Amino acid sequence: MAGTEARPTEIFIVSGVPMENVLLLKTHFGFDQFRPLQEEIIGCVMAQRDAFVLMPTGAGKSLCFQLPALKMPGVTLVISPLIALMKDQVDALQADGIPAEFINSTLTRAEIDRIQTEARRGKIKILYAAPERLAMPEFQLFLQEINVSLIAIDESHCISEWGHDFRPDYRNLKMLRNIFPQVPVMALTATATQKVREDIIDQLSLDKAQIFISSFNRPNLSYAVLPKKNSYDHLINIFREHRNEAAIIYCFSRKDTEHLAADLRQEGFKALPYHAGLESEARRTNQEKFIRDEAQIIVATIAFGMGIDKPDVRWVIHYHLPKSIEGYYQETGRAGRDGLPSRCMLFYSAADAIKQQYFIRQIEDEAERKNAYGKLDQMVDYCEIATCRRYYLLRYFGEDYQHENCDGCDICFTPKADFDATIISQKIMSAIIRTGQRFLTNYIIDVLLGAKNKKILERGHHDLSVYGIVDDFSKEDLRRIISQLVSKKLIIKSGDEYPILQLSPRGNEFLKQREKIQLPKFKSIGKISQPSEAVEAGYDQGLFEQLRLWRKTTADEKGVPPYVIFGDLTLRQMAFYLPQSEENFSRISGVGDEKLNQYGKILTAVIQAYAQEHNLSEQEVPVKRSARPNRSNRLGSTHRETKKLVLQKMSIEEMASTRGLAAGTIAAHIEKLLSAGETIDIDYLRPPVEQFETIQAAFQKSGGAALSPVWEMLGERFSYEELRIARLFIKS
C-alpha cells in the first residue's frame, strides 16, 4: 500500500496447527478440515494479534472468530449490521452446542437484561451486537463489565465511504479501540477493493494487523450474461426445470419486484417480493418463508440478501443491471455458500445502463457522481466482454487468474468461434475519426446504421462516407464490437458522464497499416455452464428428498431454518454413503458431537430402512486426511518450489520476488520444509551473530517459541520473517 510502509502485509502462517483446533472443528462444527487461510487466521488471533480478513462469501469467515472464541477465556464480541443474520448465526451456533446470544432492537428490555446477566457470569462465549448499539453509553458500560477477549467486525467495508455499502453507524467502532486497547480486533469483509481495504485499516487503526486475502474465485459458481430478450420466458423455463431449488432474483425497483413476483406466482411458483418499501412485518415474513424453504423464490431489490445466511441458494439472477462490480459480486456470492454447484445469471440490455445513468445524474456531489459513473462503466464492460467473465471479476479485485478457460462461464463454456472483424472494425474506427472523435457510442452507431437522427442531419454527418455503411450488424452487435475494440486498446473512452470514443495511438497504427483482426462471434443466447460436482454427485435422490422432508419437519419443530439442522451437502453425503452406524454417520461432513447425539440414531434408522427397501449397501465414509495429526507435515507443490530456490542459495527477498509471494510466506515454507524432514542447507540464512544473539535472548526471556511476544519485546526492530528464520537455528 502506498504510504503505509510500516504495515506488515505478509500472511501470518502458523506452522503445525494444534490438533486441539482440528478436534474443536469436528466436535463443534462437524468438519474434518479447515478451508484455505482459516488455520492461519485462527493462529493469528490466538497469538493476540489484530487481523484484516478479506474472504469471499461462503469461504468460512465466521469460523475464523467462532472457533477461537471457544478457546479464549472471555466473550468474543461480534459487530454485525444484519439483524436477521445475527439470529441465524446464533441459532446455528446453539444447534452446535455453543453458548451464543445477540443483542439488538428486536429484543425486549427483559431479554437484553437476561443476556447481559449471563454474559457477566461468563455463560456466553459469542455475543453479537449491531453497530448502532455501541453509541449507547449504557451498552459501553456493560461491555466494560465483561471480559471481552476478541472483537470481530463483520461486513467491515461498511465503515468506508469508498465502498458500495457505507453505513455511518460503523464510525462508532473507532471507540472500541479506546475502550479495549489490548483486545485483538478482527475486521472481516467479502468485497473490498485496494482503496477500501486501506480505508478500513485506517478507520479501525489496524496498522499492525496481519492481512489475509483469500482468493475471490468461487469455483462452484458459474456466470452467464444473457441478452434481455424473452427474459421472462427464460425464467419460467429455468424454474420449471429446477422446482426445488432456491433462487434470488434482483430487480431495479420496488415496483419491478412486486410485479415479477406476482407474475411468477400466477405461473404456479412460490415467489415473494422483498424491498425496503414493504412494511417491516411483511419483509420479515417473506424472508422467514424463504429461509425456511416455504418459498422457492425471492424477488428483491438490493435491500435483500445481506441479512440471510441461507447456504443452499442455487440461483442468483439479476433481472436488471447492477450498479457496480462490487455489488454484483457480493450479490452473486449469496449463491452456493455450501460449496455445491450454483448459477449466477444476468440479463443485460443497454437500456438498463441508460436508466442507471439517469439516477447517477441526480447525485449532487461531483466526486461521488464521477465514482458512480466509473463503477457503472465497469459493470457494462463486464456484460459486453467476449473473454472469460471469471477472469474479469478476479482481475477487478486485484487477483491474477491464470487459466485461459474457467469452464464456468457462458464465454468459456461455449465453443469459441472467431470471425474476421477487420472490415467492420475499420468502418467503426473511420466513423470515429470522420465525426471528429468527440461523440458517444450510440451516436457513432447511429451514423454507421444511417439513422435519421436530427443531430446527425444538423451536423451534416449524413453526408459522410461512413454514413449508413453498415447493414450486416445490429445496433447491439456494434456495441459489443466497440466494447471489444476498447478492451483491445484500439479505441479509448474519454470522460465520465458522457464518455466519447477516440482512437488510441495503437488504433491509429492499426488503420494506417491495414492490420487484420479476429473477434469472437456473437451468441444469440449464452449457454449456462454446469459447475463440476464432487464425488457425492451420484447420491440417491429419493433418499435425499426423504431426508429433506425430515429436515424441514425437524426445523419447524425447533423454530429454526432447515439449514441450521443440516446443510444440503451433508444430506447429499448421507444419501451417497448411506451410513447405518453412528461411527460411519459421525464421519459425514457437518456432523459434530451435538448433532450426532441429537440425530444420529434417528437418521441411521431412516437410512437403514431406506437401504433395505431399495436393496442398497452402506459405503464407508472416508476419514479426511486433513483431520490426522500428520497433516501439517505434508508438502504441497508450493513448498517444493520454494525448496528449489533454497537449494540455489537465494535470499528470502530473492525467493519472495521470484515467486511473487510475501517474505513471511517464504519463511513459513522453509519452516515447514524442515519440520517435514526435508534435507536442505539453510545455514546461509543464519542472521549475523549480533542480531542472532539479540533475538535468541528475547526468545529465552519470553519463555517460549511464540513470535508475537518476541516481536513486541524487540520493539519491531526485526520483521516476522527474520524472527521466524532465527527461531529455526535456536531450535537446532
The DSSP secondary structure of 304-338, one letter per residue, reads SSTT---TTEEEEEESS--S-HHHHHHHHTTS-TT
Q: Which of 1-15, 478-492, 527-541, 546-560 has the highest mean pLDDT?
A: 546-560
> What are the contacts of 705-714 at 24+ separation with CB within 8 A?
705/731, 706/47, 707/47, 708/47, 708/48, 708/49
Confidence at 5, pLDDT banded by 50, 70, 90: very low
pLDDT of 570-611, one tens digit each? 999 999 999 998 888 988 988 888 888 889 999 999 999 998
> What are the contacts of 579-584 at 24+ separation with CB within 8 A?
579/604, 579/607, 579/618, 579/621, 580/604, 580/607, 580/608, 580/611, 580/618, 581/618, 584/618, 584/620, 584/621
Within 10 Å of residue 729's Cβ, how many Cβ atoms?
A: 15
The C-alpha cell at 643 is 525448496
Give the model's pLDDT for residue 571.
93
The C-alpha torsion from 683 through 685 and 688 to 690, rounded to 10°, is: -90
pLDDT of 118-151, one tens digit each? 999 989 999 999 888 888 889 999 999 999 999 9
- Selected residue with higher pLDDT from 634 and 262: 262
Identity (one letter) of the amino acid at 690? E
Q: How far apart are CA 488 and CA 506, in angstroms?
A: 9
Stretch 441-466: mean pLDDT:
91
Q: How far apart are CA 472 and CA 449, in angstroms?
A: 9
Give the model's pLDDT for residue 225.
93
Residue 346's alpha-carbon distances to 318, 319, 330, 649, in angstroms, are 5, 6, 14, 51
E strand or H helix that includes residue 117: helix 109-120
* Residue 200 reports pLDDT greater than 90: no
Give the model's pLDDT for residue 633.
42
Q: How far apart are CA 126 and CA 124, in angstroms?
A: 6
Sign (positive or negative) of CA dihedral 560, 565, 567, 572: negative
The C-alpha cell at 483 is 466494447
Task: Provide the pairing of β-strand 185-189 with 491-494.
Answer: unpaired
Q: Using an 8 Å Cβ cutoff, are 338 and 567 in contact?
A: yes
Contacts of 124 (CB under 8 A, 6+ apart): 75, 99, 100, 101, 115, 118
Identity (one letter) of the amino acid at 430? S
Q: How far apart are CA 529 and CA 204, in angstroms?
A: 41
Query: For the chain, which domains are there?
Result: 19-213 (3.40.50.300), 221-413 (3.40.50.300), 418-520 (1.10.10.10), 535-625 (1.10.150.80), 630-731 (1.10.10.1390)
Q: How far apart are CA 399 and CA 75, in angstroms?
A: 35
Q: How far apart are CA 603 and CA 550, in angstroms?
A: 9
Give the model's pLDDT for residue 387.
83
Give the model's pLDDT for residue 284.
83
pLDDT of 607-626, one tens digit each? 999 989 888 888 888 765 43
Contacts of 689 (CB under 8 A, 6+ apart): none
The 3-state DSSP class for residue 496 equals: coil
Report the side by side order of strands in the sheet with 297-300.
221-227, 342-348, 313-318, 246-250, 297-300, 271-274
Confidence at 382, pLDDT banded by 50, 70, 90: very high
Least confident residue range of 57-71, 155-169, 310-324, 504-518: 155-169
Stretch 55-68: mean pLDDT:
86
Residues above pLDDT 90, as percent of the chain: 32
Identity (one letter) of the amino acid at 322? P
The C-alpha cell at 426 is 475499420
The C-alpha cell at 494 is 474519454
Give the model's pLDDT for residue 165.
64
Q: How far apart are CA 73 and CA 150, in angstroms?
A: 10
> What are the contacts of 157-162 at 24+ separation with CB within 8 A?
157/189, 157/191, 157/192, 157/196, 157/200, 158/81, 158/131, 159/199, 159/200, 159/203, 159/204, 160/192, 160/196, 160/199, 160/200, 160/203, 161/199, 162/193, 162/195, 162/196, 162/199, 162/371
Confidence at 635, pLDDT banded by 50, 70, 90: low
Q: How far apart are CA 475 and CA 444, in angstroms?
A: 10
Give the model's pLDDT for residue 444.
93
Q: How far apart are CA 55 and CA 52, in angstroms?
A: 10
Confidence at 422, pLDDT banded by 50, 70, 90: very high
The 3-state DSSP class for residue 52 equals: strand
Task: Provide the pairing of β-strand 210-213 with 246-250.
Answer: unpaired
Contacts of 38 (CB under 8 A, 6+ apart): 60, 63, 64
Confidence at 709, pLDDT banded by 50, 70, 90: low
Identity (one letter) of the amino acid at 121? R
Stretch 299-303: mean pLDDT:
81
Confidence at 490, pLDDT banded by 50, 70, 90: very high
Confidence at 407, pLDDT banded by 50, 70, 90: confident
Give the model's pLDDT for residue 78.
94
Give the model's pLDDT for residue 119.
92
Q: How far apart are CA 590 and CA 63, in angstroms?
A: 13
Q: How far apart are CA 675 and CA 726, in angstroms?
A: 15
Give the model's pLDDT for residue 448.
94
The C-alpha cell at 270 is 412460490
Give the model's pLDDT for residue 103.
92
Stretch 448-458: mean pLDDT:
90
The residue length of the chain stands at 732
* Residue 4 reports pLDDT greater than 60: no
Confidence at 537, pLDDT banded by 50, 70, 90: low
Mean pLDDT (the chain) is: 84
Identity (one letter) of the amino acid at 153? I
Stretch 629-650: mean pLDDT:
69
Angle ∠(536,541,542) on CA atoms, nearest 5: 140
The 3-state DSSP class for residue 476 equals: helix
The C-alpha cell at 217 is 474465485
Confidence at 172, pLDDT banded by 50, 70, 90: confident
Within 10 Å of residue 566's Cβ, how many Cβ atoms?
A: 26
Stretch 226-249: mean pLDDT:
89
User: Three-state SS string across 658-725, please?
Assistant: HHCCCHHHHHHHHHHHHHCCCCCCCHHHCCCHHHHHHHHHHHHHHCCCCHHHHHHHCCCCCCHHHHHH
Give the model's pLDDT for residue 530.
52
DSSP conformation class of 34:
P
Within 10 Å of residue 118's Cβ, how many Cβ atoms?
A: 15
Give the model's pLDDT for residue 16.
44
Give the model's pLDDT for residue 221.
94
